Each structure stands twice: as structure tokens, then as C-alpha cells.
Amino acid sequence: MSKIDASPPDKDAPLGMLHWLWLTLLVIVLDQVTKQIASAMLALYQPIMVMPLFNFTLAHNYGAAFSFLSDAGGWQRYALAAVALITSIGITIWLKRLPKDDPWMAASLSLILGGAIGNLYDRVVLGYVVDFLDVYWGASHFPAFNIADSAISIGAAMMVIDLIRNPHK
């Protein structure tokens, strides 16, 4: 079990764990490149089977996760963009203040930040988020998602694992 470190950030490392932003940038680049390829090569809502249980299916998500608020009339674009922007700023500050001995949390925050920025870019520039990964079982389809969503989910799972491993943190 690790102890909580309430000491101020190391003065020799004024940027804290911001060097982990390479992972954020990697997520953003992979996300945007794959979305551009999907948009160029796939027809909207026309599945292409990749293997059993998995298709490429281009979808435009005007809402939040699982298309929540997708039919809200347009205001959600700006509200969700504002939430993503504020969250991204908060995560960046958290990353800067993170102790140098916590690379697991730095990686999880960087993944979440990359995913948030990748989807924020879509929402601001396109007005919707491009999704194209389609997992299904029989006739039941999980909502389509993208690389940014995957990075957010992996980062969040890493945070939960960290909380289980270090409940006093």
C-alpha cells in the first residue's frame, strides 16, 4: 500500500508528470487518423464485417456516451464541448501536480485526456463525434465507438484498478 503524499510538487520538476502528454498526443493522432480513414472509406450506417462479433460501421454521434442527448436539439454540442474542455484543463492540472512516483496514474490521466480532446475536436469542428467500431452479439449491438472512447475507458479502468490496489491514495 502506498501512502498519500501531501507534499508540494518537486521544485526540480516544475512540469510534474506533463512529460506523459506524449501518450495524450498519440491517442489524439491515432483517433483522428482512424476517424478520417473511416469517414473516407465507410458509408454512413453500413456495416462491414471484419470478423464475427465485430464490424466497422460509420456513425455520427450528436450526443454523449451511448448517444445520450443525441436528439436534444443542438444545445448539447456546446454543453458537451464545454464539459470536455473544463475536464481537459482539470486533468492537465492534475497531471502537472502528480507526484513523479505515480506513472500508472499519469498514464491513465493521459489516456483519458487524449480521448477527451479527440472527441472534443470532432464535436467542435464537425458538430458530432465520428464512431466506427461496432461490437455485437447476434442482433444486439453495443453502441459504436472510436479510439478516443477506448482510451477514455482504458484510462478510467486503470484509475479503478489503482483505487482498488491503493485504497488510501
Instruction: Show Cβ contacts of residue 130 under 8 Å, excluding neighbours closer than 6 positions.
Output: 35, 38, 39, 58, 59, 60, 61, 122, 146
Q: Which residue has the cell 466506427?
A: 132
Helices vs. strands in the chain: H and E counts, helices first:
4, 4
Cα–Cα distance measured from residue 103 to residue 143, given in angstroms and rounded to the nearest whole number: 31
Instruction: Show Cβ contacts of residue 65 under 8 Å, excluding neighbours closer than 6 positions.
Output: 143, 149
Q: How many CB atoms neighbour CB 92 within 10 A?
A: 18
Helix (H, G, I), strand (E, B) or coil at 111: helix
Residues 84/149, Cβ–Cβ less than 8 Å: no
Cα–Cα distance measured from residue 81 to residue 91, given in angstroms and rounded to the nearest whole number: 15
| Identified catalytic residue from 31, 102, 122, 131 | 131
Active site residue 149: yes
Q: Kindly list the catalytic residues.
A: 131, 149
